[in-house]
A and B are shown apart, each in its own frame.
Chain A
């Protein structure tokens, strides 16, 4: 057991935190965008939707249902050949963003879909009566009307991603999870364990606070 000096640990802790933030935020941005597109497509193509397309809906919905139950750890492993093909490596912070994005996209898609379904059909009818084309209804009516709940949904996703990134860290993803394993667990350094847990709690709290403030601003309550 080698008890390292704090002066040696701190740079590692800040670096790990930076890596975690990078993984989480990059994944959030990518999966947020892709998930929004898939979610909008799910919403619009469903039966009675404004762009009803049964075949598209069934395919999308099936893919989402197949991908979503796959545990994060398994996804990283299963997708590693694809990751290697795309990123050049299956190890490291950049590499892990790919499987995380795949998993998160489908999670975001369901969040988007359910929040859009909660929008009152009346406003869609009003927009249709004005002669607004379907895609523009999606972007200028549905998304703004559902923005408050969407922000809360994305906050939920952000917190889940912090959790996810820690798991990714344990299988070569870097970040706080990696630090917890290599220094906290393998070297029995309880201090590192405590610090990583505190960092995670702070990150989650900050994410939730940000989401709450933003959604309250949008919902004006």
Chain B
């Protein structure tokens, strides 16, 4: 793999510069999006279905080729690479999917070992590192089973282990928890947190659930009709959403929050508006 020029530590591990994607049928799925993701952060992209989230995420590893604009990951301008170099660059970008997309023909260990084999590891080496990745996600004991024998949450953890096997710097999550129940969602989100904290992997995730953003993201962007309408630290966007779409999302999150049930009790306890506001903000920031 070609290493990028050892220039000064880049401020951003992912940079999209005025990226657009127009499909053959004329649909403008992503419209002049620019965004930058700092190394080691967790970045959330929120939007309704059809807003272009999925396309935007796929533009980062060039599964979709942008119509215009440039994509730079880990100091390498992907949009300037040939197909062979691009494939090498993709090994530094893991991806997990809503429907897991595990290979049914391979065991759990075989799934996780696959990207390592593709990256040139020997069979023994691949198995060893795959076993290690499975230990990290807590599924070492499931190595010999097949995906269909696992629960949804376990399958997604295999998906995460597979995406992390080649030790990428970036992990892209495409609605990684949308097919899971709330309990399992929490487990997978906790795992993503560990991936970020312990391995230092930068995560970009797309979701339509504000709960997910609140649980794991540092910064977020709100996507509406292919355009980023608002971006900033999660805490700020929750506290003072500007765009109507952001407001709608924040409202949905607050309504879905058990916090609301606690409010009357908190009101009775304090009897002061300020105190309630403060505790809401604390909850949002947590």
Task: Tell me if A129 and B105 are in contact (CB < 8 A).
Answer: no
Given that A126-B101, A136-B118, A145-B103 are known contacts, is A131 also in contact with B95, CB under 8 Å in the complex?
no
CA–CA, A147 to B103, complex, Å?
Answer: 12
Task: Tell me if B63 and A131 are in contact (CB < 8 A).
Answer: no
CA–CA, A145 to B87, complex, Å?
Answer: 22
Task: Tell me if A144 and B106 are in contact (CB < 8 A).
Answer: yes
B156 touches A (CB below 8 Å): no
Given that A128-B63, A130-B118, A136-B118 are known contacts, is A141 also in contact with B90, CB under 8 Å in the complex?
no
Task: Tell me if B101 and A145 are in contact (CB < 8 A).
Answer: no
A114 touches B (CB below 8 Å): no
B249 touches A (CB below 8 Å): no
CA–CA, A218 to B146, complex, Å?
Answer: 12
Task: Tell me if B89 and A131 are in contact (CB < 8 A).
Answer: yes
B104 touches A (CB below 8 Å): yes
Q: What sequence of 0s and 1s flags, for each residue 165-185 of chain B, a beta carbon within 8 Å of any chain A beta carbon?
A: 010000010000000000000
Which residues 120-171 in A have Cβ within 8 Å of B in the complex?
Answer: 120, 122-123, 125-133, 136, 140-141, 144-145, 147
Which residues 95-133 in A have Cβ within 8 Å of B in the complex?
Answer: 120, 122-123, 125-133
B263 touches A (CB below 8 Å): no
Report the minimum CB–CB distance from B229 to chain A (whole Å): 27
A217 touches B (CB below 8 Å): no
Which residue of chain B has the shortest Cβ distance to A126 in the bound complex? Answer: B101
Task: Tell me if B106 and A130 are in contact (CB < 8 A).
Answer: no
Q: Which residues of B contact A129 (CB under 8 A)?
A: 61, 63, 90, 93-95, 172
Report the minimum CB–CB distance from A188 to chain B (whole Å): 54
Which residue of chain A has the shortest Cβ distance to B148 in the bound complex? Answer: A220
Identify which of A125, A132, A220 contacts B146 (C-beta below 8 A): A220
Q: Which residues of B contact A132 (CB under 8 A)?
A: 87, 115, 118
Total interface residues on B, using CB and 8 Å?
30
B43 touches A (CB below 8 Å): no
Q: Which residues of B contact A144 (CB under 8 A)?
A: 103, 105-106
CA–CA, A144 to B114, complex, Å?
Answer: 13
Which residue of chain A has the shortest Cβ distance to B98 in the bound complex? Answer: A122
Q: Which residues of B contact A131 (CB under 8 A)?
A: 86-91, 115, 118-119
Given that A128-B63, A129-B63 are known contacts, is A122 also in contact with B101, CB under 8 Å in the complex?
yes
Q: Which residues of B contact A120 (CB under 8 A)?
A: 99, 101
Q: Which residues of A contact B87 (CB under 8 A)?
A: 131-133
Q: Which residues of A contact B162 (CB under 8 A)?
A: 126
Which residue of chain A has the shortest Cβ distance to B1 in the bound complex? Answer: A131
B136 touches A (CB below 8 Å): no
Q: Which residues of A contact B118 (CB under 8 A)?
A: 127, 130-132, 136, 140
Report the minimum CB–CB distance from A169 to chain B (whole Å): 38
Q: Which residues of A contact B90 (CB under 8 A)?
A: 128-131
Given that A125-B63, A220-B146 are known contacts, is A130 also in contact with B91, CB under 8 Å in the complex?
yes
Task: Tell me if B95 and A126 are in contact (CB < 8 A).
Answer: yes
Report the minimum CB–CB distance from A122 to chain B (whole Å): 4
Which residue of chain A has the shortest Cβ distance to B103 in the bound complex? Answer: A123
Q: What sequence of 0s and 1s flags, for each residue 179-210 of chain A, a beta carbon within 8 Å of any chain B beta carbon?
A: 00000000000000000000000000000000
Task: Tell me if A147 and B105 are in contact (CB < 8 A).
Answer: yes
Q: Which residues of B contact A127 (CB under 8 A)?
A: 114, 118
Q: Which residues of A contact B119 (CB under 8 A)?
A: 131
Q: Which residues of B contact A147 (CB under 8 A)?
A: 105
Given that A131-B88, A133-B87 are known contacts, is A125 also in contact with B103, CB under 8 Å in the complex?
no
Among B63, B97, B102, B105, chain A packs the most CB atoms within 10 A around the CB of: B105
Task: Tell me if B105 and A145 are in contact (CB < 8 A).
Answer: yes
Which residue of chain B has the shortest Cβ distance to A48 in the bound complex? Answer: B24
User: What are 28 A-B pairs with beta-carbon distances under 8 A?
Assistant: A120-B101, A122-B100, A123-B101, A123-B103, A123-B104, A125-B97, A126-B101, A126-B103, A126-B162, A129-B61, A129-B63, A129-B94, A129-B172, A130-B90, A130-B91, A130-B114, A131-B86, A131-B91, A132-B115, A133-B84, A140-B114, A140-B118, A141-B103, A144-B106, A145-B103, A145-B104, A145-B105, A220-B146
* B-binding residues in A (CB < 8 A): 120, 122-123, 125-133, 136, 140-141, 144-145, 147, 218, 220
